């Protein structure tokens, strides 16, 4: 596996009440196969024999049924200190995950939860940006004025604000911007280098909706994936629609976990 740059999204997992049902749903939707985690209550998901995600049985029924994203760090304790310094919270202090690596969980100033991963034997994804694998993540928040500087200071992200057509409008103070793409430190910010993004939760959504990360998976056919998700017992939260980078839909699995699928522009007919 290729090493992941500091701050890059490197892993995703989903917390589920019924692990076996999760295998049936995601196996049917993405063609994933699964490998048991040495007697642990989780299963690695593979696409074409390569690691793409993990499914985990919830230890506590009060835990949210949700996808979580992990950002790579070469010094997890320093990153934890930076999170605290810049207004975030540590939910789980760094703990060793066997010989695979060291993991921690945190929340940004708006309350969105994410993970940290300091790799040892496991770097992260073995496949991404291909059908059946992770391709994107973005935080949805009501507090961009707090969240933007947090990620840019903690992870060194450089932001580029985009309009609805996906054009960089960072220098246009009059532009109505509600989406920001983040590029790694040292890269010129913009769509070509972005590893994640930030979207704003508007007043059109219920006030009780919390901040969250939305995980995207690449598919060869967005419309077919949405239909298949429903057949497998899930539902469609946002029907397929076109964006500057392809065609996407927001789906919910048969246990309530939200995620998105993207058919990239190069795979559109």
Instruction: For residue 23, give the CATH number of its domain.
Output: 3.10.180.10
**In whole angstroms, how far apart are CA 156 and each of 8, 137, 212?**
11, 17, 20
- pLDDT at residue number 60: 79
**Is this structure's pTM higher than 0.95?**
no
- pLDDT at residue number 228: 98
| Rounded Cα distance, 167 and 157, in Å | 19
| Antiparallel, parallel or unpaired: β 113-119 and 67-72 | parallel
CB 158 within 8 A of CB 152: yes
- pLDDT at residue number 173: 40
Averaged in consecutive runs of 10 residues, what is the pLDDT profile of the chain (269 residues)? Answer: 79 95 97 78 92 92 91 96 98 93 96 96 95 97 95 94 58 58 91 93 79 97 98 97 94 97 91
CA nearest neighbour of 112 among 81, 91, 86:
91
- pLDDT at residue number 208: 79
- Tell me, rounded to whole angstroms, the distance of Cα 33 from its chain centroid: 20
- pLDDT at residue number 171: 46
- pLDDT at residue number 40: 57
Write out the residue range of the structural domain in which residue 245 sits.
1-268
HSE, CB side, 13 Å, CA atoms: give it for residue 198. 26
- pLDDT at residue number 38: 52
HSE, CB side, 13 Å, CA atoms: give it for residue 236. 16
For the chain, the domain total comes to: 1
| Rounded Cα distance, 128 and 213, in Å | 18
């Amino acid at each position: 596996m290729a090493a992941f740059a500091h701050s890059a999204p490197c892993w995703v997992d989903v917390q589920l009440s019924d692990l076996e049902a999760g295998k049936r749903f995601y196996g049917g939707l993405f063609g994933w196969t699964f490998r048991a985690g040495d007697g642990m209550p989780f299963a690695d998901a593979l696409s074409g024999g390569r690691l793409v995600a993990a499914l985990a049985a919830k230890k506590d029924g009060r835990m949210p049924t949700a996808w979580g994203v992990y950002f790579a760090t070469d010094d997890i304790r320093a990153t934890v200190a930076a999170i605290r310094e810049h207004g975030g919270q540590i939910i789980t202090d760094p703990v060793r995950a066997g010989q695979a690596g060291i993991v921690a969980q945190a929340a940004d100033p708006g309350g969105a939860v994410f993970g940290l991963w300091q790799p040892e034997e496991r770097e992260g994804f073995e496949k991404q940006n291909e059908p059946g694998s992770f391709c994107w993540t973005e935080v949805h928040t009501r507090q961009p004025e707090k969240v933007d500087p947090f990620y840019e200071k903690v992870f060194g992200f450089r932001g580029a604000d985009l309009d609805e057509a996906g054009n960089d409008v960072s220098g246009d103070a009059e532009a109505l911007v509600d989406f920001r793409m983040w590029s790694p430190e040292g890269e010129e910010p913009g769509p070509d280098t972005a590893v994640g993004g930030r979207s704003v939760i508007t007043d059109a959504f219920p006030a009780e909706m919390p901040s969250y990360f939305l995980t995207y998976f690449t598919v060869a056919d967005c419309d077919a994936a949405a239909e298949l998700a429903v057949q497998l017992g899930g539902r469609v939260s946002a029907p397929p629609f076109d964006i500057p980078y392809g065609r996407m839909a927001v789906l919910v699995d048969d246990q309530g976990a939200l995620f998105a699928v993207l058919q990239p522009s190069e795979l559109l007919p």
